[in-house]
Amino acid sequence: MFLLLGSNTLFFQAISYPLKSMTPKSEKKASDAIVVASAGVHGSGAPTPGSTLRAHTAGKLYLEGQAPLVIITGGVTKPYFPPVNIKGMAIILQGMGVPSHDIIIENRSADTYSNGVETSKILNRLELKSVLLVSHDYHLFRLVSVFKKLGIESYAFSANQSYPKTSIPWWRYFDWANFNRIQTIFHEYFGLLSYKFSGLI
């Protein structure tokens, strides 16, 4: 029974729906900086698909003129120090045509709240007021809430909002990849509750 539920796409969609329903509306809002949150690293040091998608989305927003600067935040994870996934995201941005002098790497933070704290230090130093936050839809509510709690004018843009909405073939209703997706969703629920009760959002 556990295997059937854990691999079931409909079950994943059901448990993630309340979280995704809280996602702020994605908007291409001209801002002082684009802030993109890291989504991890492979054992090889290469960015995960999530980090890659977020970097690509941030790069597109920069090239469209939404902000003159991209700040990559997060990624202090063992055993990688300094966090190689952050460097990988910068390489993706540069490959898309974002100049290196318009990319800032924030690599001191280890979670969503410290993403906000460490990024706010950079914003204050550069006298920047507004940010366009890039992450996955399930993470954006907590990310935006943290930045707004810190007094930063914040707008959201979902890295996966451009996924095409297509019907799922019957043989894809059971997908082992859903185990990892469900784990991610529960992690986000736990993060939201802990941040709420601790007054971080």
* Number of domains comprising the chain: 1
Structure tokens at 79: 């055993």
Residue range(s) defining the domain that contains residue 51? 2-9+28-159+173-197
Reply yes or no on whether the pLDDT at 127 is more than 80: yes
Q: Which has more pLDDT, 139 or 43?
A: 139
Instruction: Judge whether 181 lies within some domain.
Output: yes
d(C-alpha 127, C-alpha 111), whole Å = 24
Task: Give the DSSP letter string of 112-179.
Answer: HHHHHHHHHHHHHHHT--EEEEEE-HHHHHHHHHHHHHTT-EEEEEETTTTS---PPPGGGSB-THHH
d(C-alpha 200, C-alpha 194), whole Å = 8
Instruction: Judge whether 76 lies within some domain.
Output: yes
Highest mean pLDDT among 14-18, 147-151, 159-163 belongs to: 147-151
pLDDT value at position 84?
54
Q: What is the CATH number of the domain that holds 128?
A: 3.40.50.620
Instruction: Judge whether 71 lies within some domain.
Output: yes
Under the phi-then-psi rule, with left for phi > 0, alpha for psi from -120 to 50, and beta for the rest, what region is 40?
A: left
Instruction: Judge whether 115 lies within some domain.
Output: yes
Structure tokens at 21: 């329903």
| β partners of residue 80 | 77
Structure confidence by residue, pLDDT tens digits, 56-65: 999 999 999 9
Instruction: Judge whether 20 lies within some domain.
Output: no
pLDDT value at position 161?
64
Mean pLDDT (whole number) for 14-40: 90
Instruction: Judge whether 23 lies within some domain.
Output: no
d(C-alpha 69, C-alpha 149), whole Å = 22
- In the structure, what pLDDT confidence band is assigned to residue 134 with cuts at 50, 70 and 90? very high
| Beta carbons of 79 and 43 less than 8 angstroms apart | no
Q: Which has more pLDDT, 174 or 138?
A: 138
Structure confidence by residue, pLDDT tens digits, 73-122: 986 655 555 555 567 899 999 999 999 999 999 988 889 999 999 999 99
d(C-alpha 82, C-alpha 48), whole Å = 16
Instruction: Judge whether 16 lies within some domain.
Output: no
In the chain, what percentage of residues exceed pLDDT 70? 77
pTM of the model: 0.84
